[in-house]
Chain A
């Protein structure tokens, strides 16, 4: 005998209790602290801040703890929190030229003012599992320290700009649009595209960028410069009438220099792709710069070769991992009403097809 399925409420509560237990894991193993995650899983924290669009290492670390290390889930927690926060005002644009760089490399010039600064990078590590790390309590030796450079580190593209070799960017004092406050409208324009890419899924943006390198909308990029470090955030306080520093954030900035042989509307010159992402997130920043450049085909008078990375609508509508994972995973919710109507339809079509076949056989 059929018993109506009740008890959804209890099932949910029990599932939540079980989830909390699983999150904690074996209680004989010490619990992770938020500070430990913030300090020792800093790159995960950075990704959550970048794609969550909220610069707060402690909250990002908490989200990672709560999500059991599922970074997209952590990003979702941050986004859902961020959306409830009041907007107090807008900061001044950050000046990345005045960045206190921890890392700054250029692939286009061997040496340059400000020098090549490797910083804390995996680039030249050998990817050998370090079994010594499995033993706890071994503190690494202190890294040697140098004297930080006093003067600002100039942008590489400024040198090319001075010679007129690189396409100048139009300056604007307009307040950039914000896709978290306005519905997406197409064509989106570059500022909105950059916002979407900056908070887009790292894997998606990486895949799109990689596709341009493999020939789907190739744009010959060089990493003109990649820099990571702290920048001051300034805000104009109405009572004061001038901008004051309210804090600092670590960002990764990538400017690509792209070969460009000219088009119907533009002379031969170098062109740029731009990436700017919260935290030390250089894979994402480089990917962003490549996709940004690919999306600029129209303003540069290039051909649209039909590559996915050239399609603004395709890229912007599919880069957000919270939208994507939500819609993807919702198919596990009940669909039995729809499915029932499909069942009726398929049965009917089969019945009719069967009758038609029998009729033909009889004729």
Chain B
């Protein structure tokens, strides 16, 4: 066992995954069962996304991998190295240069184009799972378009807290048909689900693939009198000064001093290279 096939998976398996992807694209938001394989990284580490990326990659592609918006988080590094080794594709940290972007928990700040594919790692693909634990039941609910339970849950949130208390993995309705889990992205990212690029969602352990074709209508669930609200920390990025990006909160010292920085490391880098400076960026400091 010295040589693995291009992008690790054998061609039969890739064909099976591509069929699931095509079916997913044909029925936006529908969860297509697929015979997920055991990958050489654990379930929960992005095996679904890795399989989708493996089935989508061609030798000419340029791959970017992010986790929490960042290219340098350990698991993003690990997955990027996996494809560098098994597919020998070019890799990049620049959003605009990538043809395929595998992500966990974020959508890049920069708008994607029609030539790009965004691959999501999905832990629990079923948006109704925490309302109904049985897969047999939830599949039936999707088939019958029976989403009352979800609306009751959102209503109860409002009754108890005055607002919908879901901050990430905020459910959406796709093309007025399927309720879909956008994976655990912060709800700040939800409006970006309507985009020019293809979006593919892979859940390895749960054996499901689903997809959003370009320009698909994706509506975050809400009520007329309680419309969907996009939230982020009310700060500017300490490094690049951005006031429109999603921010991570970083604790600086034992006294609890903190700063806010872009979670999208490439977006932040590009802004700083363009001369933007946040309140906490030192003069002429190098951010290598």
Contacts and interface: CB of A to CB of B under 8 A. Distances in A.
A338 B135 contact: no
A5 B40 contact: no
B38 interface: yes
Given A181-B35, A183-B34, 19 more contacts: A1-B282, A2-B280, A4-B239, A5-B72, A7-B72, A8-B74, A84-B4, A183-B36, A184-B207, A186-B136, A326-B205, A337-B68, A338-B184, A338-B186, A340-B247, A340-B248, A341-B187, A345-B167, A352-B162
Contacts of A82: 38
Nearest to B238: A2
Interface in B64-88: 67-69, 72-78, 81
A4 B68 CA distance: 14
Interface stretch (A129-137, A212-220, A328-336): A328-336
B232 to A, nearest CB: 7
Interface residues of B, number: 68
Contact of A341 (B75, B168, B280, B288): B168
B92 interface: no
B266 to A, nearest CB: 12
The interface centre, meaning the residue of A180, A334, A340, A349 with most chain B CB atoms within 10 A of its CB, is: A340
A2 B261 contact: yes
Q: Is the interface of B mostly helix, strand, loop or mixed?
A: loop
A171 interface: no
B62 to A, nearest CB: 19
Interface stretch (B22-30, B41-49, B148-156, B213-221): B41-49
B37 A336 contact: no
Contact of B248 (A80, A187, A337, A349): A337
Contact of A183 (B33, B39, B47, B68): B33
B53 to A, nearest CB: 17
23 contacts: A4-B72, A5-B72, A7-B72, A8-B74, A83-B37, A83-B38, A180-B35, A182-B35, A183-B36, A313-B134, A326-B47, A331-B44, A333-B44, A333-B75, A334-B75, A335-B184, A336-B68, A337-B185, A337-B248, A340-B249, A342-B167, A344-B232, A352-B162
A338 B75 contact: no
A2 B262 CA distance: 13
Contact of B259 (A2, A180, A331, A344): A2
B129 to A, nearest CB: 11
A264 to B, nearest CB: 24
Contact of B73 (A186, A334, A342): A334
B161 A349 contact: yes
A330 B45 contact: yes
Contact of A337 (B42, B45, B105): B105
Nearest to B33: A183
A-B interface, 5 closest residue pairs, ranked by CB to CB distance from nearest? A330-B44, A326-B43, A326-B42, A341-B167, A183-B33
A326 B44 contact: yes
Nearest to A76: B42
Interface in A71-102: 76, 79-84, 86
A82 B77 CA distance: 25
A317 interface: yes
Nearest to A178: B35
B265 interface: yes
B157 to A, nearest CB: 10
A291 to B, nearest CB: 19
Interface of B: 1, 4, 8, 10, 33-40, 42-45, 47, 67-69, 72-78, 81, 105-106, 123, 134-136, 161-163, 165, 167-169, 184-188, 205, 207, 231-233, 238-239, 246-250, 252, 259, 261, 263, 265, 280, 282, 285, 287-288
B168 to A, nearest CB: 4
B73 A8 contact: yes
A330 B123 contact: yes
Contacts of A181: 35
A83 to B, nearest CB: 4
Contact of B231 (A2, A84, A338, A345): A345
B67 A334 contact: yes
B43 A323 contact: yes
A338 B43 contact: no
Nearest to B252: A2
A6 interface: yes
Contacts of A344: 167, 231-233
A6 B246 contact: no
Nearest to A356: B162
A81 B38 CA distance: 9
A239 to B, nearest CB: 23
B75 to A, nearest CB: 6
A311 to B, nearest CB: 9
A43 interface: no
A206 interface: no
Contacts of B280: 1-2
Given A1-B282, A12-B77, A344-B231, A337 B43 contact: no
A344 B123 CA distance: 23
The interface centre, meaning the residue of B163, B187, B205 with most chain A CB atoms within 10 A of its CB, is: B205
A35 interface: no
